[in-house]
Amino acid sequence: MKSKYVILASALLISVATFAQKDQIKAAEKSLKAGNAQEAVTILQGAETASATASDSEKAQYFFVKGNAYLDLANKKVDEGKNLSLAAKAYQDLLAVEKASGKDKYSSQATTSILDIKYKLLNSAIADTKADKHSESAKKLYDAYLLDKKDTINLYYAASTYVNAKEYNEALKLYYELETLNYSGKGTSYLAMNKLTAQEDLFNTARERDLAVKIGTHEKPKTEPIPSKRGEIYKNVALILVQDGKTEEAKKAMSDARKANPEDSSLILTEANLYLETKDYDTYKKLVGEALEKNPNDVDLIFNLGVLSANAKNPADAEKYYKKVIEVEPKYINAYINLAALKLENEKVIIDEMNKLGTSAKDMKRYEVLKSQREDLFKSTIPYLQKAVDLDPTNIDVSKTLLNVYSALEMMPEAKALKEKIKAQEGK
């Protein structure tokens, strides 16, 4: 008989707790409607323990109000990133509860709110990046990925942003996750010029882009390939491992990556760069040859071989690759820029020697030789810099480099004309 009273008492306690939670949820809703989201959060924290024993419908309501309260705080810019994440977690808990119970009272609204949170996180992450808050930006990008795991590019951006924040261990975790997903990022960009903003807009499909052109809001449609990002992913993984003293592990990671993705030529370059970093020049040269043999007319590949050669202090090979790029694709602007930069690197050696000379007859004779060499060096860069400026007149840095060359060679008419063009560009 005594045990029955105990059971009855326990049931009564649960019932009282349930009623208490219902009252707390209603009180939180009331506070939220009155514009006091922080008070609503505080009330709900008091109901958190009781929510474990509540019915499914009460749990769903609890998580719904909780998500709304945190989202309201985020919308008011109160700990925006933190509260967006807490709101998303509450809505995800709500979706899990309603999916398990088979009921669908709040799921539709929660799903809409989650999508809203995702884009708020992305916009906030962009603002953080512009303010050099890379760590905060990376976390928001990762949170946005967790809200929509189909949008894997946000995982890639999160990893890259952790690299910018120099949080290499966090970056490595996300790169490993990308590897597990076999993410490449390869695709196609559908672009068209917005007539109102004069900026290029990106469309999800060619159909959407073509429709915008047809109705007259956009013009100058173009389609561009998006190259695979696997090379960059594995390169960063390898560099982080090398930095941690795990060189052999880095080499194995690259070898495994190439076996898993034999069609991805960017990985050959990444592996070549790894052996360059570890000063294994024989293997580096072998891989460079392999890459060129596999894709003899791939201009991006050839250009990157030029960059690798320049980094390896092999200017002759770098020049050969850059000129090969121009031969295959005459409008490849970066090849012209890098050729000019490659030649201008030699100026420092000449200047250093000139500065060491005295005023003796012998030194003055040597000075004239060096002066002539410097002028010849400048002259050799002019065709490349002029072509780069022709291809992209808006590139002020290249224009200013050409202006400096004109001035050094006392080519005053050319310098004056270019100076006016630069002034016009900067005034836009």
CA atoms within 13 A on the CB side of 108: 3
The answer to whether the beta carbons of residues 311 and 305 sit under 8 Å apart is no
Same topology between domain 2-131 and domain 242-330: yes
Which architecture does CATH list for 2-131?
Answer: Alpha Horseshoe (1.25)
When the candidates are 3.40.640.10, 1.25.40.10, 3.40.50.150, 2.40.10.170, the CATH number that belongs to 242-330 is 1.25.40.10
Q: What 3-state class would DSSP assign to 132?
A: coil
- C-alpha 46/C-alpha 56 separation (Å) is 19
The answer to whether the beta carbons of residues 278 and 246 sit under 8 Å apart is no
- C-alpha 95/C-alpha 109 separation (Å) is 10
Distances (CA, A) of 421 to 261, 395, 427: 47, 11, 10
Which architecture does CATH list for 347-426?
Answer: Alpha Horseshoe (1.25)
Q: What is the pLDDT of residues 249-277, one digit of tens each?
A: 988 888 888 887 777 777 888 888 888 77
Note if the pTM is more than 0.75. Answer: no
Q: What is the pLDDT of residues 365-381, one digit of tens each?
A: 999 999 999 999 999 99
Q: What is the pLDDT of residues 127-150, one digit of tens each?
A: 999 999 999 999 999 999 998 888
Q: What is the pLDDT of residues 41-73, one digit of tens each?
A: 888 887 666 566 677 888 888 889 898 998 999
Domain borders along the chain are 2-131, 187-226, 242-330, 347-426
Q: What is the pLDDT of residues 161-183, one digit of tens each?
A: 999 999 999 999 999 999 899 89
